Amino acid sequence: ERPEQRTATRLVFLGAFSPLASSALQTPLAHAMADITQHVRELLCTLVADRLGPERVAELLGDRIAIRVFTAYLLKDADNIPPKGTYEPRVYSNRGGVNYFRPDGWVQVWIKATDQDPDFAELQDWPIAYHGTDSSKLGSILEAGLRKPGELPSVQMAHGNAGAEPDGAIYTSPSLWLASHPVYSTLLKLDDERWVQFAFKVRVRPNSYKVQRSTLSSSEHWDAGIQMDPNMPHNESLEWLNASSTDVLVVGLMLRELGPVVDTGVFGTLASRVVAHPTKGPEYSWTALLQATIRSGGYIIDSGDLRLGFNS
């Protein structure tokens, strides 16, 4: 039986997740994992129990929660971002010819069984990508995986269908920076000074996807001259489109906290500067901060890199 022939519920998230309440992160992470696990369970029940039901939530939780903390490094000190000329991207691996970059200030909840089960050995060569989402979609994606608009009653088009065939596509990105833009990964308010956002981590079948430039660049959402992802020299190859849901498998969930009370040792000082915008919300605060910081580090798209992007 091939991995893609199994039911979505056997492939998707077997753990749970949490916004990591700040009180749990005031102690060293090595001593806070029990608290983090408890918060993981509480948030899962809060966000998806109504859709999945208590029995399904209990089945998903099990004893398989696996959490990894990727502390901020490029965004660790918002006033001293490493300049582009000296910054070395942290490449963890290359899968299917695509670099997998270390996340910057994120908590990952992953499925240990996926990498350890010999039946899923094929997935080792599938590139890693991400899909940002709204918290209201977590339950349906956990239960059924990522689907094209119209495949299920709960899946509706949210951001247009640029570059897709008439029957739609599943959009992912090899860049967590793009996938977590608030247009895709909306902010869920946890309290007056704290928000959380989510992005699913996925594996994508090699050569199954169409590559296109970011549709957010040169729009009101992002300055066309600034790199959306400091790990990538241009914005021309950041979106992947898949015509089949069997080619995209959910393997985990990423989460990040924003706001004045977050743990800066985990999420970085820039994340702590996010405040509610007077008229537009914290999403605009975060995007403005992020663009200004990336620009200050000199992460400007070079015309030579841009020409290479069109030829790649």
Q: Which two tokens stand for residue 24?
A: 């749990």
Q: Which two tokens stand for residue 253?
A: 């969930």
In this predicted structure, the answer to whether residue 164 has a pLDDT above a threshold of 60 is: no
In this predicted structure, the answer to whether residue 174 has a pLDDT above a threshold of 90 is: yes
- Of 146-160, 184-198, 242-256, the least confident: 146-160
Element (H, E) at 285: helix 282-296
Beta strands (DSSP E) in 56-105 are: 67-70, 91-95, 98-101
* CA 2 to chain centroid: 26
DSSP notation for 51-67: HH-HHHHHHHHTT---E
Q: What is the pLDDT of residue 40?
A: 60
Q: What value, to the nearest 5°, has the Cα angle with vertex 202 and ends 198 and 203?
A: 170
- The pTM for the full model equals 0.81
Beta strands (DSSP E) in 71-138 are: 91-95, 98-101, 106-110, 128-133
> Are 101 and 231 contacting, i.e. CB atoms less than 8 angstroms apart?
yes
In the predicted model, what is the mean pLDDT of residues 274-295? 91
Average predicted confidence (pLDDT) for the chain: 76
Q: What is the pLDDT of residue 29?
A: 43
Highest mean pLDDT (candidates 3-7, 46-50, 148-152): 46-50
> Are 44 and 260 contacting, i.e. CB atoms less than 8 angstroms apart?
no
Phi, psi of 14 (to 5 degrees): -105, 5
In the predicted model, what is the mean pLDDT of residues 174-195? 92
In this predicted structure, the answer to whether residue 3 has a pLDDT above a threshold of 80 is: no
- Of 3-12, 21-30, 115-124, the least confident: 3-12
Q: What is the pLDDT of residue 227?
A: 94
Q: What is the pLDDT of residues 74-99, one digit of tens each?
A: 999 999 999 999 999 999 999 989 99
With a CB cutoff of 8 Å and minimum separation 6, the contacts of 66 are 15, 109, 110, 111, 112
> Are 22 and 1 contacting, i.e. CB atoms less than 8 angstroms apart?
no
> Are 283 and 182 contacting, i.e. CB atoms less than 8 angstroms apart?
yes
Element (H, E) at 307: helix 303-311
Q: What is the pLDDT of residue 30?
A: 40
> Are 89 and 101 contacting, i.e. CB atoms less than 8 angstroms apart?
yes
- Of 48-57, 170-179, 182-191, the least confident: 48-57
Q: Which two tokens stand for residue 133?
A: 């989402």
Query: Which pLDDT band, with edges at 50, 70 and 90, does 139 fall under?
Result: confident
> Are 124 and 95 contacting, i.e. CB atoms less than 8 angstroms apart?
yes
Between 166 and 289, name the one with better pLDDT: 289
